[in-house]
A and B are shown apart, each in its own frame.
Chain A
Amino acid sequence: MSAGPVSTGPVGGPVDTGMILEVRDLRVRIASRRGVVRAVDGVSFGVPRGGALGLVGESGSGKSMTLRAILGVLPPEAQVTSGEIRLDGVDLLQLKGAEVNRLRGPKMAMIFQEPMSALNPVMRVGQQIAEGPQIHLGLGRAQAAERALELMRRVGIPDPERRFRAYPHEFSGGMRQRVMIAIALSCDPEIILCDEPTTALDVTIQDQILRLLTRLCRESGVSLVFVTHDLPVVAQVCHDVAVMYGGQLVERGEVREVLLDPRHPYTLGLVRSAPDFEYVRESLVPIPGSPPSLVSPPSGCRFHPRCAFAEDDCRVSDTPLRVLPSGRATACLHYERTLEAIEADRARP
């Protein structure tokens, strides 16, 4: 598995950079009664071929909207206003609907958070898996059914011949998520977008599903974008991580570095508020305040109202992601402060 460096800033020019997916300055707006919500506001990242990128952040930080924008399945009131989404060098935003439709399935696929609601309740499970290959790979009914059976076997659904004819409500939660994985893999995609695929599962099942997913992706060289708010899950699945806050990326880098040695106060807050992590401390520390309104976001750094280290310039200057000498990127103007905070935490007995 090639886990290349995280894409850094705008590059321009030739397209092949070893990246299967490149997102540049993506902006998504949602029309709502309270005004225009800037759900995604200038997000850029890249996913290397065969790599796995985690996208973390709290609810409403724009992670799911980013995924949906990539796939082109935003809700009707949401709209991509600018940016580039290059899948294998091709800008998806420049393609017509029907052309993108041909890529959904064979090039990119998605796994949803709630496997029950993401499966059609009145369609047999086997048919739901066989549908994609029938359309995109031009398989006949029997071949597609055969492929569905193989996929079911592959994702560890026992006795696939019998389960083929079952309906989703007859499956347990973990089995449903296995079905979703089988559907996502059914047309040999190059990248799978996962929207909190294990949030609805209990931890033992979650572990099984994560192992299955990472193993299958490694075996077939499929890249992953993995959206979650669960830091240990990111650490288990991803090589790189991008932290999202208020519709923007605030930090990006190799997953262990970012989680063990954050370069942004928000990441530090996330790590401090998460239990069960190597970063040892006496008690969990919540991040004060609540996420910013994306209708009228705070000026300057969006995190400054909740940030313990905020200074005057944080309130006024824009804070684009800057690449540090180490190859990591942060949006924080005073990221050294997080270093001091971490030192202080570690110094404590």
Chain B
Amino acid sequence: MSAIEIPPGPAGPEPASEPVLVLRAEGRHASRWYRQPALVAGLAILAVVVGLSLAAPLITPYSPIAQNLNDSLLGPSSSHLLGTDQLGRDTFTRLLYGMRLDLQIAFIAVLLPFLLGIVLGSLAGYFGGWVDSVIMRLVDIVVAFPFYVLIIALVFVLGPGKGSIFIAITLVGWVAYARIIRGEILVAKRQDYITAARSGGLSNVRIMRRHLLPNVISQGFIYGMSDIVQDILAIVTLGYLGLGIPPPTADLGSMINDGQNFLSTHWQLTTIPGLAVVVVGLGLSLVGDGLADLLRPGQ
């Protein structure tokens, strides 16, 4: 056994004749985030939307659910910015609370499939063999159904509510992450630094966690940003179909549905929540695109 004695001070007779550091990669940040118009615009939209939803209790004095039948179906006025619905609830208040709830659900709903997909995708890609076969056959089964058909069927079976939405989106959404991460891992695990990590006697778990995932996870983030848009649309769709959050809780989907009966006389009841969905979706898409450009390797 050779105990390595580490002498203090600088090492011997091989002075470094070369520059130690190469240019401190300025090119890497050539595309700084604030120079990405899409990202900036998306962040601005999201900041307004999220700010308004978070500050909802401070902005409006009304409750999103308390009915006031004396004031039903009022037009826009200084006390009710967007008027009231058929039960006398302030539309602007319900819009803010509805966005708040939908955004909150969307952000949580994107996390669970992200985590599940990344774990299963890593296992499939790293170990290959039967692990890969089993996981990828599961993926095939889920992919065989259209996204909305499966989500709606699952929520229908599980019953409306937040919990069912999370479960349904997780069960359906993980496959995309699993496929992306599996593909990335298949490429990354053949890199020399993984062979080097194996040569260093590291365990599989450590190689996956410390060496593979940090190199591939940005692809998961990029997809996640566009996935949020899909999730929020799914949540609104479920609400519209009456499978989302049970009334009287405000949610953009159910607001669109409730307003439909009054479309000819009070178009704002349906149109405004619809526009809100478009704006939120636009903001998230822009942020997603911007982040993708920023994180995408090889620029």
Contact = CB atoms under 8 A, between A and B. Distances in A.
Interface stretch (B18-26, B48-56, B152-160): B18-26
A136 B201 CA distance: 8
A90 interface: no
Interface residues of A, number: 62
Contacts of A156: 10-12, 14-16
Given A135-B206, A153-B11, A208-B14, A103 B201 contact: yes
Contacts of A204: 17-18
Interface in A127-180: 131-132, 135-136, 147, 150-151, 153-159, 163, 166, 169-175, 180
A120 interface: yes
Contacts of B141: none
Interface stretch (B1-9, B101-109, B255-263): B1-9
A197 to B, nearest CB: 12
Interface in A188-233: 188, 190, 204-205, 208-209, 211-212, 215, 219-222
B236 to A, nearest CB: 37
A104 B16 contact: no
B201 A132 contact: yes
A117 interface: yes
B210 interface: yes
A123 B211 contact: yes
Interface stretch (B61-69, B82-90, B185-193, B227-235): B185-193
A190 B18 contact: no
A171 B22 contact: yes
Contacts of A135: 201-203, 206
A156 B17 CA distance: 11
B31 interface: no
A104 B12 contact: no
B215 interface: yes
Contact of A114 (B192, B197, B200): B192
A56 interface: no
Interface residues of B, number: 43
Contacts of B17: 204-205, 208
Contacts of A101: 201-203
A211 B14 contact: yes
Contacts of B8: 153
A268 to B, nearest CB: 34
Nearest to A147: B6
A136 B203 CA distance: 11
A175 B21 CA distance: 8
B6 A154 contact: yes
B191 A117 contact: yes
Contacts of B199: 71, 73, 104, 109-110
A204 B16 CA distance: 10
A120 B197 contact: yes
Contacts of B201: 101-106, 132, 135-136, 187
Nearest to A149: B6
Nearest to B7: A154
Contacts of A118: 192-193, 195-196
Closest 4 CB pairs of A and B: A104-B201, A105-B201, A117-B192, A118-B192
27 contacts: A73-B198, A102-B201, A112-B192, A112-B195, A114-B192, A117-B193, A132-B201, A135-B203, A136-B201, A153-B11, A155-B11, A156-B15, A170-B21, A170-B24, A170-B25, A173-B18, A174-B16, A183-B196, A183-B200, A188-B2, A204-B17, A204-B18, A208-B15, A208-B16, A211-B14, A215-B14, A222-B2
